[in-house]
Amino acid sequence: MKYRRPIILNLCILSLLLLLCGCSRKSEPIRKSGFYFDTVITVTLYEKEQEPLLEKCLALADRYEKMFSNTIADSDISKINAAAGNPVTVSDETIELLKLGIHYGELSDGAFDITVGRLSSLWDFSDNTGTIPGADEIQEALTSIDYHAIEIDDNQVKLNNPDAQLDLGGIAKGYIADRMKDFLVAHGVTNGIINLGGNVLVIGSKSDGSGYTIGIQKPFEETGTAIASVRISDRTVVSSGVYERYSYYEDQLYHHILDTATGYPCENDLLGVSIICGSSADGDALSTITFTKGLDAGMRFIEGLPDTEAIFITVDYEVYTTSGVGKNMDFMLRDF
């Protein structure tokens, strides 16, 4: 029997962030941070001799940003966008990420679509001055969104619709976290934390064998004020919600999760979704897809996927979880 448990939250403001609670006390943590993909990336390890690996992790983030960003002129993605439908030769990693994006376009029937670039640039939530795009602009941008326009032949990529624009912002951070984990594990790391804003990925368990407790931030409170937590080992927690990037226009909130059918921010019964799974790239895409579906359809969608769980926060501040969260992950609502 499917499991869904509501927990009433006495909140008045919307948002969701991820924070980390309860690291191992056996070893003093070492960490390093950098700013990539408009996100602070922090890698935390627990063995002093592993410190040189931190800088190499950030070098990986820098390398991948220069491949995947659609705002860096000579990145693989910018070259494809500027090619007006002509083929462009790109890296193996770019091909891998594009294929993953296409897969999630198919899985979501286009609700997740990496050719959303023209539309997302219209809204520009990273530097929005409180205005919204015109209806005509939005309708024109919608005609360019169709992941079927991406044609891949070995390492060559072209967009069969020259007006299409790639934007990997909905999946690239997760991919980078996964590659960082692969690098660290290959160099003998058995426990650690990779934090890319709303993407938190943990390596193994803490040194005492227990899982890492990942807290869900109380909306718009100081960082570290958790409303709930979940304990995981060797998994990732990825969140999407209306709280991440947004602006107000005439007292209405417009957020960054766009409906590829209408061109406007999704309107449903959710404030946020957190996905718990093995791959951060998967979690990235699935958190967006699940949010667009709303609570009931999103719940059914996640319950139908293997080894994947979700936490939902609704507009009336109830929390719902898929069955495996409560049974296997020490999910807890924090007192406040």
Can you point out the beta strands (E) in 2-109?
7-8, 18-21, 30-36, 39-45, 88-89
Asked if residue 150 is part of any domain, the answer here is no
Confidence of residue 224 (pLDDT cuts 50, 70, 90): low
Tell me the average pLDDT across 235-262.
80
13 assigned to some structural domain: yes
Identify whether 256 is part of a domain.
Answer: yes
Residue with tokens 């807890």: 332
Q: Give pLDDT, residue 134.
A: 92
Q: Is the pLDDT of residue 67 over 50?
A: yes
When computed from its CA atoms, the radius of gyration of the chain, rounded to whole angstroms, is 20
Residue 285 lies in a domain: yes
CA distance 325 to 232: 10
Judge whether 41 and 35 are in contact, CB under 8 Å.
yes
Q: pTM value?
A: 0.88
Please provide the average confidence, as pLDDT, over all residues in the chain. 86
Whether residue 55 lies inside any domain: the answer is: no
Number of Cβ within a 10 Å radius of residue 88: 18
Reported as a single tens digit per residue, the pLDDT across 258-306 is 999 999 998 988 988 999 999 999 999 999 999 999 999 999 999 999 9
Domain-located, residue 79 = no
Residue 53 lies in a domain: no
Amino acid at 14: L
In a domain, 293, yes or no: yes
Q: Between 335 and 245, name the one with better pLDDT.
A: 245
The whole-number pLDDT of residue 328 equals 60
Asked if pLDDT for residue 335 goes beyond 50, the answer is no
pLDDT top residue among 38 and 13: 38
Q: Is 185 strand, coil or helix? A: helix
Region of residue 6 (phi > 0: left; psi between -120 and 50: alpha; otherwise: beta): beta
pLDDT band of 3, cuts 50, 70, 90: very low
Its domain, for residue 315, covers 7-31+194-333
Tens digit of pLDDT for each residue in 169-207?
A: 999 999 999 999 999 999 999 999 999 987 999 999 998
Per the structure, the count of domains in the chain is 1
CATH code of the domain covering residue 320: 3.10.520.10
User: How many whole angstroms separate alpha carbon 286 and alpha carbon 239?
Assistant: 9
